[in-house]
Amino acid sequence: MKPIEILEILAVVLAVLGVVYGALVVSIILKRAFLYLPQIPSFPKQKPLKKQKKKKSKKRRTEYMSKEASEGITFNDIFMFMIAVPLVLLWVGFAGFVIHTGLNNSAVLENIEAYTTLIAILGGPALLIIKDALDVWKQEQAEKTAFYKVKAQAVIDYNDASQKQAQMIEANAQSQEHKMETSSLTKVTAKKK
């Protein structure tokens, strides 16, 4: 099997996977869009002859909150999953394929300039996407680090405040005890006079 035939098969497989993935993303978008449509009122049900008590299950507040707090799919999400991810995977896969077949087939080495040109064409956008993904990851890590610094400082401040409060309570208790002792001593000395 020639490397060109393998590349054609790989391209067809990736195209089919892209169509399936696109259909999945579109179905998710439509499902979320229909989730927020107003509900159509239904006709009231007829009451059965025997009255049976049905327990009404209350929805928990967190269920409402999770629906409200969920973020919708943005254009950037669709772009990343429809274009960026397949492009990066195609670039890495094609480069690995060229390296593998180049080591085993001398015909690939004869046309290596064409293959490296194709790898470079795919690699430009793929490297930008990878760089942006790494930048986003670095930003998330910096935010986590800043959050943990703030959290650690809050714990330190809380411990310091609770220690100061405990010391103040103890000092007030000792002061009160000292006042009680001095007042009882003054009463005893006053009775002796």
Question: Between these two residues, 73 and 38, which has the higher pLDDT value?
Answer: 73
Q: Give this prediction's pTM.
A: 0.44
Predicted pLDDT of residue 170: 94
Residue 118 confidence class, pLDDT cut points 50, 70, 90 = confident
- % of the chain surpassing 70 pLDDT: 77
Q: Which of 76, 93, 71 is nearest to 17 (CA)?
A: 93
In the structure encoding, which two tokens stand for residue 171, read together?
């000092």
Q: 91: buried, middle or exposed (CB in 10 Å: 19+, 13-18, 0-12)?
A: buried
Per-chain mean pLDDT for the chain: 78
Question: Between these two residues, 48 and 80, which has the higher pLDDT value?
Answer: 80
Residue with tokens 């009680």: 180
Question: pLDDT tens digits, residue range 36-71?
Answer: 655 555 656 666 556 555 555 555 555 555 554 456
Predicted pLDDT of residue 161: 94
Question: pLDDT tens digits, residue range 161-174?
Answer: 999 999 999 999 99
Domain boundaries, the chain: 3-36+70-192
Secondary structure class of 82 (helix, strand, coil): helix
Average pLDDT of 4-26?
77
Least confident window among 2-6, 36-40, 173-177, 189-193: 36-40
List helix spans (H) across the chain. 3-35, 61-69, 75-79, 85-104, 106-110, 112-192
